[in-house]
Amino acid sequence: MTPDAAQPADGEALGEAAMSTGGISVPAAARTSERERLLGGFYAFASYFLWGFLPLYFLLLDPTGPWELVAWRILLALGFCILLLAVTRSWRRLFAIMRQPRLLGLTAVAGILIYVNWQVFIIGTLTGHVIETSLGYFINPLATIVLGVLVLHERLRVTQWVAVGIAAVAVGVIVVGYGSFPWIALTLAASFSLYGLIKKRIGPSVDAVSGLTLESMWLVPVGAVLLGVVAATTGLTMGSNGLGHALLLSGVGVATAVPLLLFAAGARRVPLTVIGLLQFLTPVMQFITGAVILGEPMPIERWIGFGLVWIALAVLATDSIVSARRAARA
């Protein structure tokens, strides 16, 4: 599914006369808009749900290490995007973007940031730190707010400042009480919030498929170097661990691209408040995976730290909902 899917075709009656349903006149535009919102909510939910399962999928790829796994993720995601471009005949949009140096530069920066995010996430997943990766995505909305202040010079409401302050205390509790710096969580939060900022700067000028194609294209040299180093040291696992493993490893491109495309299709159809609430589905699933399925340790210090983060997110979510309702009334 591409971001432009489910668009009304030319000639559909978006603004035509009302349709009669059970004696109640419902404008066609309203019916279409409601259908689009429901479809968008499904797309967004599906994207976060699939992201929540990624740790389990990557663990199935043992003995493939994090460096080889990211390399295949880059190269196979690019291959999948090229296939989508061919099927949807969207080459002209891609070539139009490539003729704009500013957009090309921004996609290169986005590619670097998403590489850092992928690499750290997979290192965390394969080294027994799934719970910490979930913490990173719990913190991400708060990191995005901080970026808005530092980079975009946005003004925060009091409740937003309170949420950020509670999150800062939570990180401090984890560092002091648990005895280790949560570098995986903070790197994930920083890289993905910066990635979101770059995507905001790019705006609608770059569609989802073209954007992911260009980001993956910029990372091809990185993927090639990673594969070369792994081949020269530990040896590549692709094709050396049976057909089942090879097929699973070949699927990392689809597993990378599909949630991103679903997210793009959903984000353009539903309000940001819906996206803001749905985004907590992924870290919740990752937390359950780490704590319940994989049995990673959760001492009291970690529970306190996570509890504070959850309180901060509850404050932030409540503030967003109240603000959205006030704007709707206005």
pLDDT on residue 29:
59
Contacting residues for 288 by C-beta, under 8 A, at least 6 apart: none
Residue 327 forms part of a structural domain: no
Q: Which domain holds residue 263?
A: 28-322
Residue 5 forms part of a structural domain: no
Residue 12 forms part of a structural domain: no
Joined together, the tokens standing for residue 117 give 């995010």
pLDDT on residue 199:
82
**Residue closest to 138 by CA, chosen among 100, 199, 192:** 192
89: region left, alpha or beta (phi > 0 left; psi from -120 to 50 alpha): left
Our measurement of the distance from residue 229's CA atom to the centroid of its chain's CA atoms, rounded to an integer in Å, reads: 28
pLDDT digits (tens, 9 = 90+) for 279-298: 888 999 999 999 999 999 88
pLDDT on residue 113:
94
Confidence of residue 322 (pLDDT cuts 50, 70, 90): confident
With 60 as the cut, is the pLDDT of residue 235 above it? yes
**Residue closest to 37 by CA, chosen among 268, 279, 328:** 268
Residue 3 forms part of a structural domain: no
Q: Total structural domains in the chain? A: 1
Output the average pLDDT for the chain: 83
The count of other CB atoms within 10 Å of the CB of residue 18 is: 13
Amino acid found at 69: L
pLDDT on residue 115:
95
Residue 21 forms part of a structural domain: no
With 50 as the cut, is the pLDDT of residue 4 above it? no
Residue 329 forms part of a structural domain: no
Residue 170 forms part of a structural domain: yes
| pTM of this structure | 0.82
| Distance, CA of 188 to CA of 134 (rounded, Å) | 9
Instruction: Report, as an integer, the average pLDDT of 213-235.
Output: 95
pLDDT on residue 181:
84
Residue 256 forms part of a structural domain: yes
pLDDT on residue 306:
87
